[in-house]
Structure formats: structure tokens, C-alpha cells
């Protein structure tokens, strides 16, 4: 077994409490479209890119729209979200995130971000942890989760084999992406993630030394 030398994190729901902002933005857009949208519906969007998330909502409302209208609505949702993240501070970091990133850096681990959010760089800046990430995979250049592309991009950037990487996710699609990449899969959050190798409620519950052993 290869020694673990790199970590790749999802952002929303793992590093930061920004998943609620996504829900609020989608809920606002769905309301404009006259489509009922609940927190339960939102669970299916975790780890899914913007366009496919919108397609899911349109399917809930049995709506079929042309591609240009879908792109316009996706951009509108993004506007709602960008407005919301402009108010975020380090207080939005989830428990244990800052400490785990610090410890990983101290141990010499490579740290990457494998997020479906195109707003990830701006969000990391707002949270005050941008410098912790050596590499941020660009979702516009890769297939969305559950494809493994975003996680594999981190491994390639670090010139590491998948077996030397651990991925952290809070959504089923993300866990599938990690497994498809050949990483060890760590689930985060209260939602059961049976495909994860191990699951913790928050990053604060992780003993990094034990995880690397």
C-alpha cells in the first residue's frame, strides 16, 4: 500500500458551511419558476455541477427549456450565490477544517480542492484558507462528479498515484468520484454515505495521524 502523501477536499459541506447558501439560491430560483423545491430535493444536488443541478430542478417541475434559457437561469442562480458568499467570513468554516488543514501542511501533505463550484477560489479567499490549497481543480475543464476527473486532477498536479491520495466528501456523487479515482474515500457529515471507506460527522472528529497510519 502506498503511503498517503496527498489530500483532496470537496468544499461545500466539508470545508465550509456554504451548502446552505446553494440551497437558498436554488430555492429562490425554483420559486421564480413556480417549482416547489425542498431541503430534501436539495440533497440530490450535492456534489452536482450547476447545469445538471438546474436540469434536476426543471425535471421536478416537468419543465423542458432550451439550452440558452438553461444557461441564463444557471447564471442567475450563480448571481444569487455570489451575492451571498460575499458576506462570508472564516466563521463559516466547518468544525475542524482550519486545524486539519494546518496539521496536514505541517506533515508535508499536498492539499488540493476537488469542488464542482466555479466560485471556489473566491470562497476560499473569503474563508481565509486559500493559501492552504496548493492546487484547485477547475470544474470547467473536467467532467462533473460522479466522474473521477476533479480528484484525478489533484493527483496529477501532485504527481502522485491515486493510492497515495485521500478524498473527503459529503455527498454520494462525490464519494463515487473518489472511489472511481482510486483514492481512499472519507465521508463527512450526518447523511449516511455507505460507499465511503470511513465516515466522520465533521473534520474535527478526524485523528489525522491514525488516518495516515
Catalytically active residues, by annotation: 10, 12
CB 101 within 8 A of CB 7: no
- Sheet of 135-136, strands arranged across: 135-136, 110-113, 6-9, 165-169, 184-188, 198-200
CB neighbour list of residue 152: distance below 8 Å, 6 or more residues apart:
162, 181
Other CB atoms closer than 10 Å to residue 200's CB: what's the count?
17
CB neighbour list of residue 128: distance below 8 Å, 6 or more residues apart:
89, 90, 93
Rounded CA gap, 120 and 34, in Å? 29
Cis peptide before 146 (omega within 30 of 0): yes
Helix, coil or strand: residue 168 = strand
Closest CA to 7 of 102, 141, 138: 102
Amino acid at each position: 500500500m502506498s503511503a498517503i502523501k496527498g489530500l483532496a477536499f470537496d468544499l461545500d459541506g466539508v470545508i465550509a458551511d456554504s451548502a446552505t447558501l446553494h440551497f437558498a439560491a436554488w430555492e429562490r430560483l425554483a420559486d421564480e419558476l413556480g417549482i416547489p423545491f425542498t431541503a430534501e430535493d436539495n440533497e440530490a444536488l450535492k456534489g452536482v455541477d450547476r447545469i445538471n443541478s438546474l436540469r434536476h430542478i426543471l425535471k421536478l417541475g416537468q419543465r423542458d427549456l432550451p439550452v440558452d434559457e438553461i444557461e441564463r437561469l444557471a447564471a442567475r442562480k450563480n448571481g444569487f450565490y455570489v451575492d451571498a458568499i460575499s458576506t462570508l467570513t472564516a466563521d463559516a468554516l466547518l468544525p475542524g477544517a482550519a486545524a486539519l488543514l494546518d496539521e496536514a501542511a505541517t506533515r508535508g501533505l499536498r492539499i488540493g480542492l476537488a469542488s464542482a463550484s466555479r466560485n471556489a477560489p473566491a470562497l476560499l479567499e473569503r474563508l481565509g484558507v486559500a493559501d492552504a490549497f496548493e492546487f484547485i481543480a477547475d470544474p470547467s475543464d473536467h467532467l462533473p462528479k460522479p466522474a473521477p476527473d476533479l480528484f484525478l486532477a489533484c493527483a496529477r498536479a501532485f504527481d502522485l498515484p491515486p493510492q497515495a491520495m485521500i478524498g473527503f466528501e459529503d455527498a454520494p456523487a462525490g464519494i463515487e468520484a473518489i472511489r472511481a479515482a482510486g483514492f481512499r474515500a472519507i465521508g463527512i457529515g450526518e447523511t449516511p454515505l455507505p460507499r465511503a471507506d470511513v465516515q466522520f460527522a465533521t473534520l474535527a472528529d478526524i485523528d489525522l495521524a491514525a488516518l495516515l497510519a
